[in-house]
C-alpha cells in the first residue's frame, strides 16, 4: 500500500503508535499527516504533526532523544500506523520518562 491510500481522518491525520523495535516497548502515540509520513521516510527519523502547534516536529530536535525509523506497519482498517523505531537517547517522554506510558490507570 502507498501512503496516499491510507485512511486519513477529516483533518488529514492518522494515529501513529511508536514501538521500540528491539524490545517491543510502546514509547509514544503521535499523529502523522502526509507530510510527516514523507519526512519520516526521507530523514529516517520519526516525525509527527503537532496538533497544538500546527506544524511538523521531528522527535528529538529539542531533546536529542531521537527515534530512528526501522519500518512502518499499518492496521487492517488502514487508518492507524505502527512505527517500529530505535530510541537514540534515554527518554521519549517530555517528563523525562523512557516512555509516555508510565502511569497505571486505576479501576
Sequence spans of domains, the chain: 3-88
Grid cell digits, residue 41: 521516510
**pLDDT tens by residue, 50-80:** 999 999 999 999 899 999 999 999 999 999 9
- Check residue 18 and give its pLDDT: 98
- Check residue 106 and give its pLDDT: 96
CATH value of 3-88 in 3.30.750.24, 3.40.50.150, 3.30.420.40, 3.10.20.810: 3.10.20.810
Mean pLDDT of 14-38: 97
- Check residue 74 and give its pLDDT: 97
Cα separation, 42 vs 63, whole angstroms: 21
**pLDDT tens by residue, 25-35:** 999 999 999 99
Q: In angstroms, what CA-CA distances link 52 with 2, 69, 85?
A: 27, 24, 24
Average pLDDT, the chain: 95
Asked whether the predicted pLDDT for residue 1 surpasses 90, the reply is no
Q: Where are the alpha helices (DSSP H) in the chain?
A: 34-43
**pLDDT tens by residue, 77-101:** 999 999 999 999 999 999 999 999 9
Amino acid at each position: 500500500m502507498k501512503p496516499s491510500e491510507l485512511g486519513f481522518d477529516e483533518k488529514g491525520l492518522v494515529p501513529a503508535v511508536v514501538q521500540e523495535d528491539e524490545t517491543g516497548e510502546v514509547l509514544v502515540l503521535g499523529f502523522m499527516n502526509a507530510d510527516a509520513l514523507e519526512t519520516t521516510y526521507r530523514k529516517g527519523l520519526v516525525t509527527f504533526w503537532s496538533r497544538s502547534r500546527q506544524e511538523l516536529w521531528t522527535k528529538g530536535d529539542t531533546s536529542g532523544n531521537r527515534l530512528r525509523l526501522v519500518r512502518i506497519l499499518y492496521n487492517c482498517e488502514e487508518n492507524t500506523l505502527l512505527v517500529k523505531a530505535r530510541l537514540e537517547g534515554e527518554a521519549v517522554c517530555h517528563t523525562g520518562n523512557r516512555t509516555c506510558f508510565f502511569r497505571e490507570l486505576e479501576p
